[in-house]
Chain A
Amino acid sequence: MDFDLLINAIIAGLMLGGFYAAVTAGISISFGMLDIVNIAHPAFILLGSYITYIVNITFGIDPIIASILVLPAFYALGALVYQVYYLAFEKRGQESLRGLAFFFGLLFVTEVVLLLLFGVDYRSVNAPYIGPSVSVGAMEFPLRLLVPALVSAAMFAGVQIFLSRTFIGRAVMAVSQDPMALRLMAIDPTRIKRIAFGISIATASLAGAFLIIIQPVIPSVGRDYIGRIFAICVLGGLGSLPGTVIAALLLGVIESLTATFYGPSWAPAVSFGILLLTLAVRPSGLLGR
Chain B
Amino acid sequence: MRTPVFILVQAVVGLAVYLLFDNFGNDYWFFAGYTVLQYIVLATAWNILGGYCGYVNFGSAGFFALGAYTSVFFYNMGQSLDELFSESTAALLGHIFPIPVPILILFGGVVAGLVGLGTGYLTLRLRGVFFAIATLALAVVLETLVVNWQFVGGSRGAYVIPPNSVPVFGPYIQYLFALMIVLVIVALTCARLIERSRLGYGFATIRDDELAAEACGVPTLRLKLIATVLSGALMGMAGAPFPFYIGYVEPGSAFNLSYAVNSIAMPMIGGTSNWIGPLVGAILLGTLQQLATVTISSVLNLLIVGLLLIGFVIVAPNGIVGLVQDWTAKKPKRTKP
Interface string of A74-115 (1 = CB under 8 A from B): 000000000010001100101011101110111011011101
**B148 and A109 within 8 A (CB):** no
Contacts A92-B317, A109-B307, A272-B141; is A279 near B126 (CB within 8 Å)?
yes
Instruction: Give the CA-CA distance A195 to B333 in the complex, in Å.
Output: 42
Q: Does B257 contact A (CB under 8 A)?
A: yes
B144 touches A265 (CB 8 A): yes
- The answer to whether the Cβ of A268 comes within 8 Å of any Cβ in the partner chain is yes
Consensus secondary structure, chain B interface? helix
Q: How far is the CA of A240 from the CA of B147 in the complex (A)?
A: 35
Evaluate contact between A272 and B138: CB separation under 8 angstroms: yes
| Contact assessment for A276 and B264 in the assembled complex, using a CB-CB cutoff below 8 Å | no
Which residues of chain B are within 8 angstroms of A283 by Cβ–Cβ distance? 126, 130
- The answer on a CB contact under 8 Å between A276 and B54 is no
B residues 127-159 touching A (CB-CB < 8 Å): 128-130, 132-134, 136-138, 140-141, 143-145, 147-148, 155
Q: Can you show 21 pairs from A to B with CB atoms below 8 A apart?
A: A88-B313, A89-B313, A97-B56, A97-B272, A98-B317, A101-B264, A101-B265, A104-B58, A105-B307, A108-B257, A108-B309, A109-B306, A112-B302, A112-B306, A116-B300, A226-B137, A231-B137, A265-B148, A266-B148, A276-B119, A280-B122
Shortest distance between the CB of B121 and any CB in chain A (Å) = 9
> Which residues of the other chain, A, contact B313 by a CB distance below 8 angstroms?
88-89, 98, 101-102, 105
Contact partners of B309 in chain A: CB under 8 A: 101, 104-105, 108
Are A223 and B140 neighbours in the complex by a CB distance under 8 Å? Answer: yes
Pick from B50, B136, B140, B314: contact of A39, CB below 8 A: B136
Minimal Cβ-Cβ distance residue in B for A112: B303
Q: Are B56 and A100 in contact (CB under 8 A)?
A: yes
Q: Known pairs A84-B314, A226-B136, A266-B148; list 6 more (Cβ under 8 Å).
A: A39-B133, A89-B313, A109-B303, A111-B257, A112-B306, A227-B140
**Complexed CA–CA distance, A231 and B137 (Å):** 9
Q: B96 — which chain A residues lie within 8 A by C-beta?
A: none
Q: Please tell me if the beta carbons of B141 and A269 are within 8 angstroms of each other in the complex.
A: yes
Chain B residues near A231 (CB, 8 Å)? 137
Q: Is the CB of A265 within 8 A of B264?
A: no
Q: Does B261 contact A (CB under 8 A)?
A: yes
Are B310 and A105 interface neighbours, CB within 8 A? yes
Give the contacting residue for A105; candidates B138, B141, B306; CB below 8 A: B306
Known: A101-B268, A112-B302. A268 touches B140 (CB 8 A): yes
A89 contact set on B, CB distance < 8 A: 313
Does A37 interact with chain B (Cβ within 8 Å)?
A: yes
The DSSP consensus for interface residues of chain A is: helix
| A97-B148 in contact (CB<8A) | no
A230 with B310: CB separation less than 8 A = no
Give Cα A271 to B133, complex, Å.
12
On chain B, the residues within 8 Å of A265 by CB distance are 144, 147-148, 155
B269 CB to closest chain A CB (Å) equals: 10
Within 8 Å by CB of B137, from A100, A111, A115, A272, lies A272
> How many angstroms from the CA of A227 to the CA of B265 in the assembled complex?
21
Query: Which residue of A has the minimal Cβ distance to B133?
Result: A230
Seen from chain B, the residues whose Cβ lies within 8 Å of a Cβ on chain A are 50, 54, 56, 58, 119, 122-123, 126, 128-130, 132-134, 136-138, 140-141, 143-145, 147-148, 155, 257, 261, 264-265, 268, 272, 299-300, 302-303, 305-307, 309-310, 313-314, 317
Tell me the bound Cα distance from A269 to B147 in angstroms: 11
* Nearest-CB residue, chain A, relative to B128: A96
- Separation in Å of the B244 CB from the closest CB of chain A? 27
Q: With the chains together, A48 CA to B145 CA distance in Å?
A: 30
Q: Is A4 an interface residue (CB 8 A)?
A: no
Task: Say whether B133 contacts A275, CB under 8 Å.
Answer: yes
Chain B residue numbers with a CB within 8 Å of A227 are 136-137, 140-141
Q: Least Cβ distance of B34 to chain A in Å? A: 24
A224 CB-CB contact with B under 8 Å:
yes
A102 to B58, CA, bound (A): 12
Evaluate whether A268 and B141 lie within 8 angstroms (CB atoms) in the complex, with A102-B313, A104-B264, A115-B299 already known.
yes
Docked Cα-Cα span, A283 to B299, in Å, equals 39
Output the least CB separation between A222 and chain B (Å). Answer: 11
Q: Is the CB of A94 within 8 A of B264?
A: no
> Is there an interface contact between B56 and A101, defined as CB atoms closer than 8 Å?
yes
Task: Please state if A94 and B317 are interface contacts (CB–CB under 8 Å).
Answer: yes
- Given A108-B261, A109-B303, A230-B133: A102 in contact with B310 (beta carbons within 8 A): yes
Contacting residues of chain A (212-271) with chain B, CB-CB under 8 angstroms: 220, 223-224, 226-227, 230-231, 234, 263, 265-266, 268-269, 271
Residues of chain B within 8 A (CB-CB) of A230 are 133, 136-137
Interface string of A1-16 (1 = CB under 8 A from B): 0000000000000000
Q: Lowest 5 A-B CB distances belong to which pairs?
A: A227-B137, A109-B306, A105-B309, A272-B141, A105-B310
Q: Which chain A residues lie closer than 8 Å to B307 at the CB level? A: 105, 109
Q: Which residue of B lies closest to A277 (CB)?
A: B122
Contact with B132, one of A100, A220, A224, A269 (Cβ below 8 angstroms): A100
Q: Are A234 and B140 neighbours in the complex by a CB distance under 8 Å?
A: no
Residues of B with C-beta under 8 A to A111: 257
Contact, CB under 8 Å: B137 / A271: yes
Instruction: Give the docked Cα–Cα distance between A113 and B314 (Å).
Output: 20
Scan A113-145; emit 1 where CB is below 8 A from any B CB, else 0: 101100000000000000000000000000000
Partner of B310 from the list A109, A223, A272 (CB cut-off 8 Å) is A109
Distance in angstroms from A143 CB to nearest chain B CB is: 29
Q: Whole-angstrom distance between the alpha carbons of A227 and B144 in the complex?
A: 12
